[in-house]
A = this chain, B = another copy of it.
């Protein structure tokens, strides 16, 4: 396989979900999530190593118990637009929800980021799992699952139609003739669907990569179908080689069934990488990091998230796990269902479920640089991953990955030593999508020629 391993870096400032105390680490500024200079520094570090992209997560609902990064953070697209002019090559992927954005507005913002970055924008499409988000957008309750996924699919389709408003040769800008626009190359959208109605056209031209790259995560049946139909990159959890291989095969199978080239759908598990001088030292660091943020009480609070931030403190810890799946209906349903089913199958009490969640997890990507490089290669070669979205717990760990792990992968021909192209699609080995109207005209002209 000629392709290298794709690497994204998840930039989360003061720590991700389940990491309430990451900011206590002296390496992490307490205000990292609202400090643009901190983001610029991390992104430039990743770019110097020719990594493919940085990735910004998002959520728009908080309670006083939310992890620090969620409490106080920059909005992904304004953040990425600032990074766009302080970096040169690295891809810029931001999370935005299809549940609480208008397609015209959001498509325009991504198109603008794509031009500002000269073709490096990516959109991580989410439907918002935090049901409380609805209250910030005038709804009494969050959309049901079917509506969320129906909106997501239609939102992507409208956005891609809007992004093709102008063909690539729409602007002659010819001073001799005084012709700025060729109006035959401007196309209204005229979309009137179940969830959205958008006349168009969008008032912004295509970028050097044609359209922003689509990313998606979501493990439910609906989520997998959505990703397989529309996404160029799929973010997922890293479990085991076998399970992730099965996930990748499933997605690529669905993509093929939808008429797409499976190799143009990149599977990118999110992984925690910790490099130590010895495997033991790295495992100890993993455990120390885990313990920093996983007290029983924090795990009890965090357990509520997939259930719409349901408060589990109201239940008897030693009674059987309560019957709470109803609260997950408009939240992170897949994740909640897995928790409930496991508790049922093993007859677990609430305390046992919390203990399981607070228990240390062992990432497959912890050890010496060689151990980590071997694990990454094994996953890649087994077809369990086309690349990895790296969660960086500490800036010094990003440096160790870059300085110690990457050289090994480069030696093995699995990582680039520099960028070969300029756009995010170039980095990912994805073709630039042709404008649909240009294609349609070419097809019509071919038909005319073909008719005797």
Interface: A343 (CB within 8 A):
no
Kindly list chain B residues whose C-beta atoms are within 8 Å of the C-beta of A412: none
| Complex contact B75–A112 (CB within 8 A) | yes
Kindly list chain B residues whose C-beta atoms are within 8 Å of the C-beta of A40: 85
- Among the stretches A97-105, A263-271, A399-407, the one at the interface with B is A97-105
Interface: A21 (CB within 8 A):
yes
- Among the stretches A180-188, A251-259, A324-332, the one at the interface with B is A180-188
Interface: A315 (CB within 8 A):
no
Interface string of A202-236 (1 = CB under 8 A from B): 01110000000000000000000000000000000
The closest CB in chain B to the CB of A20 belongs to B180
Interface: A201 (CB within 8 A):
yes
| Complex contact A36–B85 (CB within 8 A) | yes
Interface: A73 (CB within 8 A):
yes
Partner of A197, one of B30, B66, B84, B138: B138
Kindly list chain B residues whose C-beta atoms are within 8 Å of the C-beta of A30: 171, 173, 175, 180
Kindly list chain B residues whose C-beta atoms are within 8 Å of the C-beta of A115: 34, 36, 74
The closest CB in chain B to the CB of A97 belongs to B105
How far apart sit A287 and B108, CA to CA, in the bound complex (Å)? Answer: 36
Kindly list chain B residues whose C-beta atoms are within 8 Å of the C-beta of A23: 173, 180
Kindly list chain B residues whose C-beta atoms are within 8 Å of the C-beta of A173: 23, 30-31
How far apart sit A135 and B188, CA to CA, in the bound complex (Å)? Answer: 11
Interface string of A64-100 (1 = CB under 8 A from B): 1010101111110111011011100000000000001
Kindly list chain B residues whose C-beta atoms are within 8 Å of the C-beta of A198: 135-138
Interface: A394 (CB within 8 A):
no
Q: How far is the CB of A295 from chain B (nearest CB, A)?
A: 11
How far apart sit A196 and B137, CA to CA, in the bound complex (Å)? Answer: 8
Kindly list chain B residues whose C-beta atoms are within 8 Å of the C-beta of A100: 102, 104-105
Interface: A178 (CB within 8 A):
yes
| Complex contact A24–B175 (CB within 8 A) | yes
How far apart sit A205 and B116, CA to CA, in the bound complex (Å)? Answer: 26
Interface: A60 (CB within 8 A):
yes
How far apart sit A42 and B326, CA to CA, in the bound complex (Å)? Answer: 56
Best-buried of A24, A74, A102 by chain B (most CB within 10 Å) = A74
| Complex contact A183–B137 (CB within 8 A) | no
Kindly list chain B residues whose C-beta atoms are within 8 Å of the C-beta of A84: 36, 82
How far apart sit A21 and B23, CA to CA, in the bound complex (Å)? Answer: 54
| Complex contact A186–B64 (CB within 8 A) | yes
Given contacts A78-B77, A109-B77, A173-B23, contact A64 B138 (CB under 8 A): no
How far apart sit A74 and B105, CA to CA, in the bound complex (Å)? Answer: 12
How far apart sit A377 and B23, CA to CA, in the bound complex (Å)? Answer: 53
Interface: A342 (CB within 8 A):
no
Interface string of A109-131 (1 = CB under 8 A from B): 10111011000000000000000
Partner of A81, one of B20, B68, B78, B135: B78
How far apart sit A358 and B101, CA to CA, in the bound complex (Å)? Answer: 41
| Complex contact A60–B102 (CB within 8 A) | no
Interface: A317 (CB within 8 A):
no
Q: How far is the CB of A204 from chain B (nearest CB, A)?
A: 6
Partner of A113, one of B14, B70, B78, B102: B78
| Complex contact A72–B116 (CB within 8 A) | no
If A62-B203, A78-B78 are given as contacts, then 6 extra A-B residue pairs at C-beta distance below 8 Å, sorted by A number, are A30-B175, A36-B84, A60-B105, A64-B183, A85-B85, A100-B102
Q: Can you list 21 pairs linking A and B with CB atoms under 8 Å apart?
A: A24-B178, A30-B173, A30-B175, A30-B180, A31-B171, A40-B85, A62-B201, A66-B203, A68-B180, A73-B204, A74-B204, A75-B204, A78-B109, A79-B112, A79-B116, A100-B105, A104-B137, A105-B137, A135-B198, A137-B198, A138-B197
List of 8 A-B pairs having minimum Cβ-Cβ separation, nearest first = A30-B173, A135-B199, A64-B183, A75-B112, A81-B81, A78-B112, A78-B81, A104-B136
